[in-house]
Amino acid sequence: MSTLEIRDLHVSVETKEGPKPILRGVDLTLESGKTHAIMGPNGSGKSTLAYSLAGHPKYQITQGTVTLDGEDLLEMSVDERARAGLFLAMQYPVEVPGVSVSNFLRTAKTAIDGDAPALRHWVKDVKVAMENLRMDKAFAERSVNEGFSGGEKKRHEILQMELLKPKFAVLDETDSGLDVDALRVVSEGVNRVKENTDAGFLLITHYTRILRYITPDFVHVFVDGRIAEEGGPELADRLEAEGYDRYLTGAASA
């Protein structure tokens, strides 16, 4: 049983005009086996939260703490965060020309576990995971994210997640730009990891549609750099019907 605890997190992003405050006191506790959805309008700071957890250098933590099982996550390097069990699928994944998917996955697995995976098991695990995601074998020999379609990028992220077996997975807008088939493949992947491991999930999304395939235990509405409301899955249904206007009007008049 693991806990990822975010307390009073304030974050500024580096801009040409200097640091700009984006997150303004985020409190959130994730636990093994639970799925949290963060939903909010564009520009509310959802990706900033993901980048802050990832340790992106552009995002300056100005206040607050993040701990994983009591360890200070913010003190860890990006690699240490991954080794501690944090997995992040970003909205805009980077290309790694010249590095094949297959090598990339094996290197990542080795870095996280501290040992290279036994080849026979590993080859089988990759094969099964790729078949589950309905990925062509040839995909393993392509360069990471180079020329990948939106759907291929997302499948590749889910493939990593299935093989790396994180304690916590943060998926930022995994559903944006996906056609319905790809959305289903990604959702099934998340649900498989949910079923087969004790991972906790933070699903960040603007749209409610991925939540038709993945049922969250908790929904948090993110507005203007902080959580404005929390509830169960029924809150996602209400957002689908009503949108974010209610919160935005509130924020503007506050």
List of residues contacting ligand ADP (CB under 6 A)? 13, 15, 20, 22, 40, 42-48, 58
**What's at 66, amino acid-wise?**
V
Helix (H) or strand (E) holding 113: helix 101-113
4 binds, among ligand ADP, Mg ion, none (CB under 5 to 8 A by kind): none
From the number of C-beta atoms within 10 Å of its C-beta (0-12, 13-18, 19+), residue 196 rates as exposed
Regarding 92 and contact with Mg ion (CB under 5 A), the answer is no
Q: How far is the CB of 228 from Mg ion (least distance, A)?
A: 17
Helix 119-132 with 180-196: angle, nearest 10 deg = 140
Among the residue ranges 38-46, 128-136, 140-148, 210-218, the one whose residues contact Mg ion (CB under 5 A)? 38-46
- Beta-carbon count within 10 A of 141 CB: 10
Following CA atoms 154, 88, 91, 245 in sequence, which dihedral angle do they give, to the nearest 10 degrees? 120
Give 44 or 187: the residue with its C-beta nearer to ligand ADP. Answer: 44
Q: How far is the CB of 89 from ligand ADP (least distance, A)?
A: 14
**Backbone phi, then psi, for 53, in 5-degree steps?**
-65, -35
44 binds, among ligand ADP, Mg ion, none (CB under 5 to 8 A by kind): ligand ADP
55 binds, among Mg ion, ligand ADP, none (CB under 5 to 8 A by kind): none
Regarding 47 and contact with Mg ion (CB under 5 A), the answer is yes
208 binds, among ligand ADP, Mg ion, none (CB under 5 to 8 A by kind): none
And the tokens for 38?
């963060």
Q: Which residue in 16, 17, 18, 42 binds Mg ion (CB under 5 A)?
A: 42
Q: Is 128 in contact with 155 (CB distance < 8 Å)?
A: no
**What's at 92, amino acid-wise?**
Y
Using CB under 5 A, list all residues that contact Mg ion.
42, 46-47
